[in-house]
Structure 1
């Protein structure tokens, strides 16, 4: 397994969650590619930690479907499984629909302004073909209702399944994200108008702009 060059810029006293997030992000952003073997010793050296938190992180990543562990043999980054991604997408869509329905009327003007600003950044990134910036802005916008909801069960579900969908988006990204820009705008305005049912439907529809077929997925943002 080739270790990424450079300093990972983390301290030696990483918590378990920090190790998990670093490895999760490295898989999602393509630093570690599908099929690549992950050796806990090499990963521990890269992050400057013992093998224990690395092994724990790999177990969590297995639960999210990002790695596949073969007992007594090796742990590898999983390949994209269209059915698994579709299932994860549907769960994520339902969670965001729930969050939007329940927080419409509770989100303040500042929250809506932050959602509009995130959508502006998303639109600019899509136009520029900047995948990383687009996904960051998209996550920031959708995260505002989730944070306002404050439902730890919803957060736990999203933490488990969102990385699988984000990885599919990155690997099969299309710059045809303008549809999502428009849907984001509709979502924000329906929330602002207090239309919880309409906002919930739009939130659900946004996640289904990620169309996944066997052998490929097409993201519109």
Structure 2
């Protein structure tokens, strides 16, 4: 397994979550590709930590469907599975629909402005064909109402299943992202106006319309 170079080690005082996030992001952004074997010793050396938090992170990643762990044998990055992505997408769409229904009309002016700014950066990244920046801005935009709602159970569900969908988005990024700019603007306006029913419908559509087919061969 080739280890990326030029990455600073994780501070040993950081929590297990930091190791988990680093490995999750490396899978989502394609640093570690589907089918690639992950060795806890090499990962621990890369991150500058012991094997224990790496092993714990790999177990968490297995529950999200990002890796396949065979105890005592090997851990590999999962091959993207159409049904798994579709199931995760449907759950995420339902969660964001619930968020929009409950938070509409309750966001602060600062929340609305931050969402608007995130969509501007999303549009700029799409125009520049910068996949990473586009997905980062998109995630920031959608997480603002989620954080404002403060439902920790809902956030845990999103944390578990969103990475699987984000990885597919990155691999399948296309010009269709231009339509998301207008949908984002519509969602922001509805959240600000207080139309919970329409906001919930748009939020659901944004996520449920993501393609989940033709991914099994990646």
Scaled to the shorter chain, the TM-score interval is over 0.9
Give the distance between the partners of 1:11 and 1:77, measured in 2 at CA. Answer: 25
| Structure 2 counterpart of 1:85 | 85
Contact 2:10–2:19 (Cα < 8 Å) also in 1: no
How far did 1:194 drift?
A: 0.6
Counterparts in 2 of 1:22-61, with a 5 A limit? 22-61=22-61
Counterparts in 2 of 1:1-221, with a 5 A limit? 1-215=1-215
How far did 1:14 drift?
A: 2.8
How big is the alpha-carbon RMSD for the aligned residues of Structure 1 and Structure 2?
1.3
Secondary structure in 2 aligned to 1:76?
A: strand
Cα distance per residue 1:14-49 (max 9 Å; x no partner): 311010000000000000011110000111111111
Give the TM-score taking structure 2 as reference length.
0.96
Give structure 1 stretches of 5+ with no counterpart: none
Contact 1:126–1:176 (Cα < 8 Å) also in 2: no
How far did 1:6 drift?
A: 1.3
How far did 1:9 drift?
A: 4.4
Give structure 2 stretches of 5+ with no counterpart: none
Contact 1:14–1:49 (Cα < 8 Å) also in 2: no
Contact 1:13–1:49 (Cα < 8 Å) also in 2: no
Runs of 4+ in 1 over 6 A off after TM superposition: none
How far did 1:191 drift?
A: 1.2
User: RCO greater where, 1 or 2, for CA within 8 Å and sep 6 or more?
Assistant: 2
How far did 1:106 drift?
A: 0.8
Give the TM-score taking structure 1 as reference length.
0.95
Cα distance per residue 1:88-108 (max 9 Å; x no partner): 011001111111110111102
Give the distance between the partners of 2:156 and 2:176, measured in 1 at CA. Answer: 30
Give the distance between the partners of 1:7 and 1:211, measured in 2 at CA. Answer: 33
Contact 1:28–1:167 (Cα < 8 Å) also in 2: yes
Contact 1:12–1:47 (Cα < 8 Å) also in 2: no
How many residue pairs get aligned? The number is 217
How far did 1:188 drift?
A: 0.8
